[in-house]
């Protein structure tokens, strides 16, 4: 599936590709067509699933021809629980709007900071991302009007309810027009979320995305204590001994990705590197070869890994650790699937030991470790 098949415009696809996003995530495959068709959507998905783009992209598409507002009427209202999410979601809209042929003004508002600049900035805003409390304050001050909102998004609805925003949310709903599109995203489907869902959504398309975190239960994980100089020989030994024929290898830099790939290639293991410094054509070609099984190994950086849309991979190797535990889970999450459990291998140097502990703690799983110090054949 491609973004173009989902109905996303070429200008947005170009911007996505600038950001290293080349293929839709599952939630985007399902949500984008439904939102473009004007359906209400209930999305059960967590942060990291790509849920923000799953609604930002179709909303930006729908804003074409409607963006020249010289008023304080917002078109799209995104309610979020926290300041951090308000900023993050605002950034997604702003960055995606960058190369549009029509202007979309997005603003993020939240409490804990002065309200005056927010009141002044509201003129001509199309997309408002707001925490409920501050939105109500702004409404009381007549800084904006929401009676013409066409699309309402509740992002992390469960968190909003957990933080005690129910009353504020209800006050906001009463000010919205009855005819509008509603998109509700939540990590869990708690009774509270269901109660909101029932009053708010009209015959929604329900989308449930299993997170990478749930998949990791199915993955066999092994860690190898190894020195930096033995990583190459260890990688080749594991590939050869275990007859691995489709391995995705992660490095943390483009330079290292090239180095690892070249070394494999020189040792008779077919390989290509895939990262942001390669041309779009080259990346697509590498990916296609890898998917077809014509390339034994693909060496990728994290940025690119997010765009690698391979349904199932038998082996993932962390040649270098990623900085964030989230990226680690994301990397290995590509291998575990219910009917097809995979294997994730992680190389850990002396300097990595502490960081790998942090990662294991975050993923709530301890990985069996093998010490290669005494291995004579490396």
Total number of residues binding ligand AMP (CB under 6 A)?
Answer: 14
251 binds ligand AMP (CB under 6 A): no
For ligand AMP, give the closer residue by CB, 21 or 157.
Answer: 21
How far is the C-alpha of 325 from the C-alpha of 99, rounded, in Å?
32
**Shortest separation between residue 88's beta carbon and ligand AMP, angstroms:** 7
For ligand AMP, give the closer residue by CB, 21 or 161.
Answer: 21
21 binds ligand AMP (CB under 6 A): yes
Q: Please identify which residue in 26, 50, 90, 333 interacts with ligand AMP, judged by CB under 6 A.
A: 50
**Which sign, positive or negative, has the C-alpha torsion 197, 210, 46, 149?**
negative
**Shortest separation between residue 32's beta carbon and ligand AMP, angstroms:** 10
For ligand AMP, give the closer residue by CB, 27 or 348.
Answer: 27
325 binds ligand AMP (CB under 6 A): no
333 binds ligand AMP (CB under 6 A): no
278-307 residues near ligand AMP, rule: CB under 6 A: 306-307
52 binds ligand AMP (CB under 6 A): yes
Tokens of 278: 């390669």
For ligand AMP, give the closer residue by CB, 150 or 327.
Answer: 327
Candidates 46-54, 99-107, 252-260, 339-347; binding stretch for ligand AMP (CB under 6 A): 46-54
Contact 87, 108 (CB under 8 A): yes
**Shortest separation between residue 76's beta carbon and ligand AMP, angstroms:** 16
174-203 residues near ligand AMP, rule: CB under 6 A: none
The pairing of strands 181-186 and 41-44 is parallel
Q: Please identify which residue in 12, 53, 60, 207 interacts with ligand AMP, judged by CB under 6 A.
A: 53
Interface contacts to ligand AMP, rule CB under 6 A: 21, 23-25, 28, 47-53, 306-307
């Amino acid at each position: 599936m491609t973004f173009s098949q989902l109905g996303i415009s070429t200008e947005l696809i170009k911007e996505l590709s600038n950001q290293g996003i080349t293929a839709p995530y599952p939630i985007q495959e399902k949500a984008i067509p439904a939102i473009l068709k004007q359906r209400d959507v209930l999305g059960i998905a967590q942060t990291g699933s790509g849920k923000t783009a799953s609604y930002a992209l179709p909303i930006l598409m729908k804003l074409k021809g409607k963006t020249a507002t010289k008023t304080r009427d917002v078109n799209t209202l995104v309610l979020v629980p926290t300041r951090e999410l308000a900023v993050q979601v605002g950034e997604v809209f702003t960055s995606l709007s960058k190369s549009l042929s029509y202007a979309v003004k997005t603003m993020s508002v939240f409490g804990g900071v002065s309200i005056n600049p927010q009141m002044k900035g509201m003129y001509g805003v199309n997309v408002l991302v707001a925490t409920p409390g501050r939105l109500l304050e702004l409404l009381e001050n007549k800084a904006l009007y929401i009676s013409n909102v066409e699309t309402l998004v509740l992002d992390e609805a469960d968190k909003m309810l957990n933080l005690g925003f129910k009353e504020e949310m209800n006050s906001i709903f009463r000010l919205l027009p009855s005819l509008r599109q509603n998109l509700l995203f939540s990590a869990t489907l708690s009774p509270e979320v269901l109660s909101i869902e029932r009053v708010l959504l009209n015959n929604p398309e329900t989308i449930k995305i299993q997170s990478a975190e749930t998949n990791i239960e199915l993955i066999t994980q092994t860690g190898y204590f190894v020195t930096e100089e033995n990583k190459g020989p260890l990688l080749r030994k594991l590939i050869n001994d275990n007859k691995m024929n489709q391995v995705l290898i992660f490095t943390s830099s483009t330079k290292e990705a090239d180095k690892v790939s070249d070394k494999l290639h020189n040792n008779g293991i077919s390989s290509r590197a895939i990262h942001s410094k390669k041309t779009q054509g080259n990346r697509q070609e590498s990916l296609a070869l890898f998917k077809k099984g014509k390339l034994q190994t693909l060496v990728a950086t994290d940025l690119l890994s997010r765009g690698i849309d391979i349904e199932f991979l038998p082996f993932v190797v962390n040649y270098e650790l990623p900085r964030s535990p989230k990226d680690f889970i994301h990397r290995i999450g590509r291998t575990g699937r219910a009917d097809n459990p995979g294997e994730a291998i992680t190389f850990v140097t002396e300097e990595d030991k502490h960081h790998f502990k942090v990662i294991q703690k975050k993923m709530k799983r301890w990985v069996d470790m093998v010490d290669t110090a005494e291995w004579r054949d490396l």
